[in-house]
A = this chain, B = another copy of it.
């Protein structure tokens, strides 16, 4: 592999000049520049990013640590991030923490060790120190989707409480009596906020949340399935369910289909997060949609901005959700 010294020799200039030509910041005699470029072409020279990173103490790589690559919610967000990153001349690498705090720690260590320019993360663990280690090492952190209190980093979130409240209120309005909630692990801020919104809506309707109708699952399809099954096995099963994420909604739906229950006749269903196939499923599923692409963009813009101005005040941006009413929660007898 050719180095700048090889190029320098061939172009009859110094390595410093080659570097200057390649980086284009400083002015170089056009004649020399041309010779350098020619030599680069002839030798097929490509800059060694690792050496450059070592010298500059920084990469042009952004790490996006997401809790589940299988979740369409995140994959759409990633597009938003990439669009901003590439405009900023940076590349994005995705890391899949799989809702697993150990894996997450590993990837944080990778981002740190590889001196990535920044990290966008939807935290799977509640280990604040890991993330603060990043930011105190000069690698800015932007949280997206989920917030971890005490982390020095910007955040882009949606109004989970409000979205959940709207969803639940909608079920109340439709006349459902025993509205259950399947939510996620307590350490995820989204899970608790959405549960709170659910409770709020019931209280606003003069009811009380009933603990036998609440389940904490794992934000995955199997968790949603099992939670649904457990709810149906209650003495007094629910006539409606609010599920706080998309994969669990799929699981819950599978469970209902298996048991040949009619939706929304026997049990109504509202999910959080849009799914690409919401309109294809019969009945179509009512969801609380998030502007996922926008969340990605916003997070990426915050990151770009913080890289440019490390000392800005921390920002916390809240986007709005929107209720998409479909067949799974309407036309109740």
The chain A residues found within 8 Å of chain B, CB to CB, are: 1, 46-51, 53-54, 59, 61, 63, 69-70, 72, 75-76, 78-79, 82, 86, 91-96, 98, 103, 106-107, 109-110, 112-115, 137, 221, 250, 253-254, 257, 275-277, 279-282
Given contacts A48-B54, A63-B93, A91-B110, 15 further A-B contacts (CB under 8 A): A47-B113, A49-B114, A50-B115, A69-B69, A69-B78, A70-B76, A72-B72, A79-B96, A82-B98, A86-B103, A92-B95, A93-B93, A93-B94, A221-B276, A254-B279
* A75: B residues at CB distance < 8 A: 69-70, 75
* A276: B residues at CB distance < 8 A: 70, 221, 250
Q: How many copies does the complex hold?
A: 2
Give bound CA distance, A93 to B96, whole Å.
8
* A93: B residues at CB distance < 8 A: 63, 93-95
Distance to closest chain B CB from A91 (angstroms): 5
Give bound CA distance, A137 to B45, whole Å.
12
Cβ–Cβ contact A50 & B54, under 8 A: yes
Distance to closest chain B CB from A278 (angstroms): 10
Q: Which of B86, B103, B277 interacts with A281 by CB under 8 Å?
A: B277
Give bound CA distance, A257 to B250, whole Å.
20
Chain B residue at minimal CB-CB distance from A247: B276
Cβ–Cβ contact A96 & B113, under 8 A: no
Give bound CA distance, A254 to B253, whole Å.
20
Distance to closest chain B CB from A95 (angstroms): 6
